[in-house]
Amino acid sequence: MYKASPPLKDLGLLNPSRAAFFMCDMQEKFRPAMIHFDEIVSVAKKMVEVSKVMSIPLVVTEQYPRGLGKTVPDIDISKALIVVSKTRFSMLVPDVERLLHSLCDGILESVVLFGIETHICVEQTAIELLSRNLKVHIIADACTSRNNADRLLALDRLRQIGCFVTTSETVIFKILQDKDNPKFAEIRHLVKEPSPYTGLFPGSYAKM
Please list the active-site residues.
25, 86, 121
Cα–Cα–Cα angle for 128, 131, 133, nearest 5°? 120
- Tell which residue, 42, 53, 41, has the closest CA to residue 16: 53
Q: For every residue of 4-36, which 3-state class applies, written as one string?
A: CCCCCCCCCCCCHHHEEEEEECCEHHHCCCCCC
Q: What contacts 168, CB < 8 A, 6 or more positions away?
A: 43, 46, 47, 139, 141, 142, 195
> Rounded to 10 degrees, what is the CA torsion of 68, 48, 109, 87?
10
